Amino acid sequence: MSETFFGWNWHQKYLDDETYARPTAEDIMCETQFNALSVHEMLYPRVNEKHFFDQLEAYKDKWVPYLPKADQNNNREGLLLWGLEGDSCNDSLSLPEARQRSGRPELMESECNYPTQFYKDMECLHPVCDYFAPLGRSFIVKANAGAYFPAHKDYPLISRDCFRIVCFFGDVERFHWQTDNIKLNIEAGRWYYIDTRKIHRTNSWSTDSSYHVILNIPKTWENTLKLLSIAQK
């Protein structure tokens, strides 16, 4: 049968190694619990938006293009919070880049677990980050005018090693995030759990920049319970 694969060929990986991405008992526990949550779950912690921008000011000239493609104009930039050992704020922004830098094609998000100096300087983020630390690869995306992420799933298998929470700043009213065609109602400085196993997309409709902080949190039963403890009841 002739087949076309968009992205990763999970079936071929299975044929190559039947143990590949096989869920553990802890995977099943965590993912079953996540199914009790909405695709967007508001979390109680808030970040002071003024403190965020005051601390970000020292890095205003450090932004680098995020996942640039030669054939696409996508006006978005990034800075790294947690990554590989020795990374600066400009390194390993994407998982493919981290895999290339490490020489490990199977590197997982949770293995990018070293805080950068940039993270250390963004003290306003520490209360939530330290609650879950150590984190996996985590970063800030600056969405400039016209920036977008096309519809995609981050990692659809239940053996994913991390789940994601996100916090937004700037012109959040004209920055749209949709998951399973459900629009997230964004409050600036609010953390949200977002089920990025599902199809999601973003669009920036503003001439002003908006910012979203994306944390990859290692998926353990303890961290799952920590998430539930700060989620809306």
How do 40-46 and 64-65 pair as beta strands? Answer: unpaired
Higher pLDDT, 1 or 86: 86
Q: What is the pLDDT of residue 213?
A: 98
User: Which pLDDT band, with edges at 50, 70 and 90, does 72 fall under?
Assistant: low
User: Which pLDDT band, with edges at 50, 70 and 90, does 6 fall under?
Assistant: low
Q: pLDDT tens digits for 99-111?
A: 999 999 889 999 9
Q: How far apart, in whole angstroms, are the C-alpha atoms of residue 217 and residue 124?
A: 18
Q: Does position 73 have pLDDT exceeding 60, yes or no?
A: yes
Exposed (0-12), middle (13-18) or buried (19+): which is 2, by Cβ within 10 Å? exposed
Determine contact, residues 147/74, Cβ cutoff 8 Å: yes
φ/ψ region of 103 (left if φ > 0, alpha if ψ in -120 to 50, else beta) reads left
Q: What is the pLDDT of residue 107?
A: 93
Q: pLDDT tens digits for 10-23?
A: 888 889 999 988 99
Q: Does position 193 have pLDDT exceeding 80, yes or no?
A: yes
Question: What are the extents of the domains in the chain?
Answer: 24-230
User: Which pLDDT band, with edges at 50, 70 and 90, does 155 fall under?
Assistant: confident
Q: Any residues with CB less than 8 A from the CB of 106 and at least 6 apart, and which?
A: 99
Residue-averaged pLDDT of the chain: 92
Q: What is the pLDDT of residue 47?
A: 97
User: Which pLDDT band, with edges at 50, 70 and 90, does 232 fall under?
Assistant: confident
Q: pLDDT tens digits for 33-65?
A: 999 999 999 999 899 999 999 999 999 999 999
Q: What is the pLDDT of residue 1?
A: 43
3-state secondary structure of 175: strand
Tell me the mean pLDDT in the region 219-227: 98
Higher pLDDT, 147 or 28: 28
Q: What is the pLDDT of residue 69?
A: 74
Q: What is the pLDDT of residue 3?
A: 55
Tell me the mean pLDDT in the region 190-198: 96
Higher pLDDT, 45 or 121: 121
Q: Domain 24-230 is classified in which CATH homologous superfamily?
A: B-lactam Antibiotic, Isopenicillin N Synthase; Chain (2.60.120.330)
